[in-house]
Structure 1
């Protein structure tokens, strides 16, 4: 009597393949979620190190670093497109913090008396600082700096004058627009804020937040002399809203004022915006971090971005 050969039947093989496919389908979201959680934890670590550096700077100087340095006085360049011209040199608070982030050598190469785009600052300007890059930010690590100008007609071609290293974070300017005075956040042009000025409480005042450079092109170096602060042309919201304009990719200030909505992946590209679905990470002035999601009430979000507004913040936020 013949013995049937051992092996799988076609039906059994198809069942096994179907089971494996189902398991892979269940496993992939978990793997992706774990990867996003790891990237978000990496960003939180970056923010906490920046927070520690801010406090060490304050201990040494008795004041927080200026949002960025400028020879400009008063308000400048007020316009409907939030375009502001600056006179430089423009170096940001990130640059001031370098010695407190174990980047003393890089800090020593910067000519702070010269504009960012000066040839003598080329090496420093193009140096990426890993701590200033969110693990979830996939933008190119160098951005083009173009000649200044208001949003130009589509036929206009901006000229690239240099490049600069990106930054995935920005300082909290407050609830007022850049050109409005007096500013009510932690950082501003030539600001000299002390911890004693933060009367709302350091645990209830946000200093730095995530802002993906692919949505709002910016660099840790600061504001380029003679440039105007415009939104990045990569922002899909602005490509859709302004199809007739070519938004020139000048470096934006490493500061953000709170918009009329909480951070959202589909919201304003010029505001704070993190790369994570759960929300945007922020550093408080006491060194702790918090998450602001789309469910966060707008009034609480705005209150957290002022240093001395006197707002009452309570409950779970």
Structure 2
């Protein structure tokens, strides 16, 4: 009796041990389920990361807006979009290669350089300030700043820039950034007219009281894209005051498929462009956010603007004294 009982217990124990294992099919099913869960989670993780990057980008724009407002309170005007000497013409329309012109200052500092103190970048300002009155300030800027861009001047949503040869033009190496000033609703020449002009242009000195359309209806700054490792493309060059560098126009809708017209560029499917040096230069606001770009208005408020916004409303948001009646957007 005892022997039979022991044998029965042994059989039960073996059966229990066998039931604790997984078959190959069960293991494959578990692996497949885990793979499906990971595939479902990855987009959510990526969306969460992009939401964080987009929020950081919006905060950068608001900080730039605050810096520009502080500059305006201190100096009674917004900084110029860029400073260019008389050898570039009046109004200066050819921003390509003017460092070689004879006599006087040529291409100088831009609005991003002038707000460095308000952005708590006094170290960079101490480097930049003595250079701004030099013969060819932009050439000196290239040598001093090299490939350095303040973190606050770059949108985290932009793909990682490995900082390898991101200059433009044959002899220059300009670091890239993602924020640009509003030059109005037309091309470079139009930016000098009150009807189409924005808050910035070359040698501008716009006061808050000059924004007749209202500070909450006039874009101050937005975003631009650039291409890594393309020497011939000026887009995103943050110390450069030309269209596409640190300036944009609402004459093109955000992320427009219509090519930009720039002093210097390299055409591509992602960033279409053509070149001109006759004042017809124009560049759209562009970003890596899905569906549009972020902007900061002259009152300091931030907002995401759809790339499908009405072209007329977007143009109206670019002018400071256009007198347009702006509806919902």
Do the aligned partners of residues 31 and 220 (structure 1) sit closer, same or farther apart at CA in structure 2, a change above 3 Å counting?
Answer: same
1:314 is aligned to: 327
**CA positional deviation for 1:171:** 0.7
2:31 is aligned to: 17
The whole-number CA distance in structure 1 between the counterparts of 2:72 and 2:93 is: 31
Number of aligned residue pairs: give it.
272
1:144 is aligned to: 167
Higher RCO (CA 8 Å, separation ≥ 6 residues)? 1
1:133 is aligned to: 154
State the secondary structure of the residue aligned to 1:295. Answer: coil
Query: Within 5 Å, which residues of 2 pair with 1:202-281?
Result: 202-214=215-227, 217-223=235-241, 253-260=245-252, 262-264=253-255, 268=259, 269=271, 270-281=283-294
Q: Is the 8 A contact 2:138 2:239 kept in 1?
A: no
CA RMSD across the alignment = 2.4
Pair 1:113-2:165 in alignment = no
Q: Is the 8 A contact 1:117 1:162 kept in 2?
A: no
Q: Deviation per CA, 1:18-63, whole angstroms, max 9, x where unpaired?
A: 2112211111110010011011011011001001100100110000
Pair 1:124-2:145 in alignment = yes
Pair 1:62-2:85 in alignment = no
1:285 is aligned to: 298
The whole-number CA distance in structure 1 between the counterparts of 2:107 and 2:185 is: 25
Q: Is the 8 A contact 1:175 1:185 kept in 2?
A: yes
**Which 5+ residue runs of structure 2 have no aligned equivalent?**
1-7, 100-105, 229-233, 260-270, 272-282
Q: Which moved more, 1:200-209 or 1:117-126?
A: 117-126
**CA positional deviation for 1:293:** 1.2
Pair 1:165-2:175 in alignment = yes
**CA positional deviation for 1:77:** 5.3
Q: Is the 8 A contact 1:259 1:271 kept in 2?
A: yes
Q: Is the 8 A contact 1:204 1:284 kept in 2?
A: yes
Do the aligned partners of residues 120 and 259 (structure 1) sit closer, same or farther apart at CA in structure 2, a change above 3 Å counting?
Answer: closer
Q: Is the 8 A contact 1:211 1:273 kept in 2?
A: yes
Pair 1:298-2:289 in alignment = no
Q: Which moved more, 1:49-58 or 1:116-125?
A: 116-125
Q: Is the 8 A contact 2:92 2:202 kept in 1?
A: no
The whole-number CA distance in structure 1 between the counterparts of 2:77 and 2:299 is: 15
The whole-number CA distance in structure 1 between the counterparts of 2:203 and 2:188 is: 13
**CA positional deviation for 1:113:** 1.0
Pair 1:178-2:185 in alignment = no
Do the aligned partners of residues 65 and 77 (structure 1) sit closer, same or farther apart at CA in structure 2, a change above 3 Å counting?
Answer: closer
Q: Is the 8 A contact 2:109 2:138 kept in 1?
A: no
In the superposition, the TM-score normalised over structure 1's length comes to 0.78
Do the aligned partners of residues 267 and 135 (structure 1) sit closer, same or farther apart at CA in structure 2, a change above 3 Å counting?
Answer: farther
Structure with more helix by fraction: 2
**CA positional deviation for 1:14:** 2.1
State the secondary structure of the residue aligned to 1:209. Answer: strand
The whole-number CA distance in structure 2 between the counterparts of 1:19 and 1:135 is: 33
State the secondary structure of the residue aligned to 2:172. Answer: strand
The whole-number CA distance in structure 2 between the counterparts of 1:39 and 1:74 is: 41
**CA positional deviation for 1:73:** 3.6
State the secondary structure of the residue aligned to 1:7. Answer: coil
In the superposition, the TM-score normalised over structure 2's length comes to 0.76
**Which 5+ residue runs of structure 1 have no aligned equivalent?**
147-159, 224-228, 231-251
Do the aligned partners of residues 220 and 94 (structure 1) sit closer, same or farther apart at CA in structure 2, a change above 3 Å counting?
Answer: same
